[in-house]
With several copies, the nearest count.
Chain A
């Protein structure tokens, strides 16, 4: 699936998006997988309460299942307006 990062999440991980093959069943599982890979992921995901996730461009939650999802995006709380 496509994984996208925005704002300081993008800066900490060091790239705006990547293709990831994963057997993770939920968003939380995917986060665990990523954190196990490299320090920069662990740094970005250190505090999940400071993060939001969207699945296929809809706000979702970290316990949501990933089945059928094509695009996951991680970002800090939005600051529009």
Chain B
């Protein structure tokens, strides 16, 4: 299990390849990569991601540990950036490895669902006209009920 919280960019392809190389015996690897999406008006300059150092790492650790206890996973990776990001930049990535595809898919979805509303990150969208904090969605809270 590897949990990384950093302001530096990361390379999703390199991370996938290292993850695959490290997971001996698993037939199935699932990744989710989240990218900075432009806003409706199409003029996003920067996304600023704030986090709660200390709590972030422990929250991500708990979520990943919970995933490992629920599914037979050979490995789990969570990377999340903070700081200033630009449209199309990778924000975060999770990867799961398992013998079977169902476990790898479910665990990755579980990680994403919890990460969305249980990891202390906040996003601010900055355009030349001003800035807005991204609001949480009720559905992000609702999806947790399925687990």
Binding site for B on A (CB under 8 A): 4, 6-8, 10, 54, 57-59, 73, 75-81
Contact = CB atoms under 8 A, between A and B. Distances in A.
B34 interface: yes
Contacts of A77: 117, 135-136, 141
Contacts of B123: 79
Nearest to B27: A81
B134 A54 contact: no
Nearest to B63: A80
A7 B50 contact: yes
Interface string B85-115: 0000001100000000100000000001001
Which secondary structure dominates where chain B touches chain A?
Answer: mixed
Give chain B's interface residue range (CB within 8 Å of chain A): 20 to 34
A4 to B, nearest CB: 7
A7 B122 contact: yes
Contacts of B133: 7-8, 76, 79
